[in-house]
A = this chain, B = another copy of it.
Amino acid sequence: MRYELYYWPGLQGRGEFVRLALEEAAADYVDIALVPEEAGGGVPAMMRFLTGDHVQHPPFAPPFLKCGKQLIGQTANILLFVGGRLKLAPVDAAGKRWTHQLQLTLADLITEVHDTHHPIDTGWFYEEQRAAAKQRSAAFLAQRLPKFLGYFERVRQRNLGRGPGLVGDAVTYVDLSMAQVIAGLRFAFPSASRMALAACPHLQALHDEVFARPRLQAYLASGRRVAFNNDGIFRRYPELDI
């Protein structure tokens, strides 16, 4: 069964959390954003599922994954679905649940990161809400980011004797997402993230170990991974990095 991943082209965004899992598992998948429109891919293919009257279970927004006749939306829900199939989640139900709970907590962090540069209106340009963005970023970097990172560092610590990641005895999709968040934070807030991560040696090690995995190394070298840029969730505005 070939998976079809639908997401915006030109940015990592939430789609990247799904891509990393598919790449790490060497899954058979098509990134529809990379398929030319003339060949039935790209944004028009995605929009047909978002707005089409024929779609029984329409997603609210990308990313979504097509697997046979199933259309699955919400990043954490997609990862919950593919996690077991790709052997990137614990086998037992309680372990799957805990992994999903951590992924949902990461999703909350990711939403807060997005709101640092768009605290007022996602439809406005950043420049139109820069003053509020500075305030929101200051609060995020001072209070929320250390709280989230401290939480995940503690979760990693409690699993140190058991396995290489946050959960159970093997690498799971939430480890890949955690590493991606750290990479994104380092892009968006090089200075503030260095300070925040100084208190999180285990998360730093997790980041390095995840991105050193052979299949992710191959993915990074393939040119298929979009570079971080200011269209994604993690954006670099030096005035916010305080």
Contacts and interface: CB of A to CB of B under 8 A. Distances in A.
Interface of A: 56-60, 70, 72-74, 76-77, 80-81, 94, 97-98, 100-101, 104-105, 108, 111, 115, 119-124, 129, 132, 135-136, 139, 143-144, 148, 151, 154-155, 158
Contacts of A124: 139
A101 B132 contact: no
Contacts of A74: 100-101, 104-105
Given A77-B100, A120-B139, 10 more contacts: A56-B158, A60-B148, A74-B100, A74-B101, A80-B100, A108-B111, A111-B111, A119-B136, A120-B132, A122-B144
A105 B59 CA distance: 9
Task: Give the number of times this chain occurs in the complex, counting copies.
Answer: 2
A94 B139 CA distance: 40
Contacts of A136: 119-121
B132 A119 contact: yes
A140 to B, nearest CB: 8
Contact of A81 (B97, B104, B115, B119): B97
